[in-house]
Structure 1
């Protein structure tokens, strides 16, 4: 039963991390098409490390779910941590570049 929980948490973590990566990619693409988009592109470049790290950690957590119950507990801890960091980073980026209102 703990394995199922660990897998679900790990998948949610991967989705959160990939959501951050996707948002950064869209933001960078839009900045590249606009005059004066260099500051946004520079910001996005600075955020790739966080996005890549959280994605790698969440994929590692998913891989850990292939082990036993001890590995599942470690996977849950890693997945929750990386998912939380990815979600916080995504929200931070969205708030910085939110338009409209």
Structure 2
């Protein structure tokens, strides 16, 4: 069970770090363009959920080395963190779709 919980926590951490990277790149591009104020403001508003998802995934990774009960809690925290990261990314991509 430890290996499975660790794997799920690592996947959640990678998903949340990808979310952080996307928002960082989007904010950086918005700051470099005229009229990017709305996007920049939106990205700054997403800092708390993005950081919370990353912190939750880190906590889940730390918890995944415990016993069976702690492993189940780690999986639940990891899945919740990944869901928050996915929802945050989806709302940002829905508001500012790419057209290529």
**Is TM more than 0.5 here?**
yes
User: For 1:1-30, what per-residue CA distance to the aligned partner results, in whole angstroms no more than 9, with x for missing partners?
Assistant: x11110111011101111110000000010
TM-score (norm 1): 0.94
Aligned pairs for 1:19-58 within 5 A? 19-58=18-57
User: For 1:54-94, what per-residue CA distance to the aligned partner results, in whole angstroms no more than 9, with x for missing partners?
Assistant: 00001000000121111111000100111111111111111
Q: 1:6 and 2:5 equivalent?
A: yes
Please identify, of 47-56 and 64-73, the stretch whose mean Cα deviation from structure 2 is larger. Answer: 64-73
Distance of 1:16 and 1:5 partners within structure 2? 17
Unaligned runs of 5+ in 2: none
TM-score (norm 2): 0.95
Distance of 1:95 and 1:26 partners within structure 2? 16
Q: Secondary structure at the match of 2:46?
A: helix
Distance of 1:22 and 1:54 partners within structure 2? 13
Q: CA deviation at 1:99?
A: 2.3
Q: Secondary structure at the match of 1:83?
A: helix
Distance of 2:7 and 2:20 partners within structure 1? 20
Instruction: Give the aligned partner of residue 92 of structure 2.
Output: 93
Number of equivalent positions: 100
